[in-house]
Amino acid sequence: MKYLVTGGAGFVGSNIAFALRRERKAEVTVLDDFSSGHFKNLSGFEGDVIGEDLLSPGWFAKVGKVDAVFHEAAVTDTTVMDQKKMMQVNVEGFKAVLAFAAQYGVKTVVYASSAGVYGNGKCPMTEDSAPEPENVYGFSKAIMDNVARDFASAHKDIALTGLRYFNVYGPGEAYKGKVASMMYQLYLQMKAGKRPRIFKFGEQMRDFVYIKDIVRANFNALDADGFGVCNVASGHPENFNKVVDCLNKAMGLDLAPEYIENPYAFYQNRTHADLRRAKTRLNYRPEWNLENGIADYVKELEKKL
């Protein structure tokens, strides 16, 4: 089997690329323009890497025939306010991937959508609820889902699955910098002996999901037929005080949070995924709760620092 991973030098993409090589012994091509991905995420990778932008001509032929595409390339910084850039990269880039799939007879496309489409919508968040994005990132992902639906109706020979990632954390995100998960940001603060800084009063809820569950959901999507958009999360939201507690336990520390003001007007105060569709379509059942995920992540981080 041969797979294409777009955005394969990024956080989620690199984890998928390595898992395809390790678990499926597959031939893997990474396509990434390295605008936010980092070559060190692919250190030791044994596949091909094409340094091209999705909107540049010529990458179709360089990639050639593949069995499936994992589309992870995107502007993932939710604080980016450049609406034109967000829509060009996320939406038009996705259209290019779908055009490639149609032209080269790709059997399956799995793409990254986002819980950002829900904004501060009603919890638990279901895939059938109307999108209420709070920023242009969430809006771009909602439009991607529309594009996917319309494409699937015209190309019934291609299986197409969108995965609405909730708050993903885990190894490989270090190069995201300021937009890396709070787990990583707080770990660095606590490792330096500082009190972890979180918004007042740490009660905002997030449906955190460990990267290993994200990879599993992507692999399960290879066996899904037709079209569908599914939430991918833990299904059990936790607050940021709990995150600090788990980090303290994993790191052997006892640092109290420092509460700060929240400067964001478009902040999601709670996310909570309804996972019924993911269980039905993908046979997805998360294996990592917050405490175990953070403990595993800290072990990986300690190896590198």
Here the tokens at position 195 are 């009190």
The pair phi, psi for residue 58, each rounded to 5°, is: 105, -20
Annotated active-site residue in 111, 118, 165, 176: 176
Angle, CA 225 vertex, CA 219 and CA 230 arms, to 5°: 60
φ/ψ of residue 44, rounded to 5: 90, 0
What residues have CB less than 8 Å from 256, skipping those under 6 apart?
A: 195
Choice among 137, 169, 187, 297 that is catalytic: 137
3 labelled catalytic: no
Inter-residue contact 124 to 138 (CB < 8 Å): no
Spatial CB neighbours of 140, under 8 Å, sequence gap ≥ 6 = 74, 75, 86, 87, 90, 91
- Is 137 among the residues known to form the active site? yes
Distance CA 57, CA 131 (A): 32
Residues acting as catalytic residues: 137, 176
